[in-house]
Amino acid sequence: MKIMIFVQELVSVVLTPFVLWFSLPQCAPAIIDFFHDFTVHIPGRGYVCSFAEFDFVRHGNVKVYLFTRDAG
């Protein structure tokens, strides 16, 4: 069993660059757009993904924030 897992890991290391070589060019514009749209500069921390700020007004359901704030 451990040998099969080891072989699968080796095969994935060899095949992953080829998969990315053929699939990434079609996805590249969407990836770049994501980084462009969701990167913010936070003073003292630098550039981060805006989802890491847990800004529920911008990215999600404000009621979730209100529920957790009221419960705690």
pTM above 0.75?
no
| Maximum CA extent, the chain | 52
Say if residues 52 and 38 touch (Cβ distance below 8 Å): no
Say if residues 48 and 40 touch (Cβ distance below 8 Å): yes
Tens digit of each residue's pLDDT (9 = 90 or more) over 8-61: 999 999 999 998 888 888 888 998 999 998 898 989 989 988 888 777 677 666
Please tell me the predicted confidence (pLDDT) of residue 58.
72
How far apart CA 1 and CA 7 sit, in angstroms, is 10
How far apart CA 42 and CA 39 sit, in angstroms, is 10
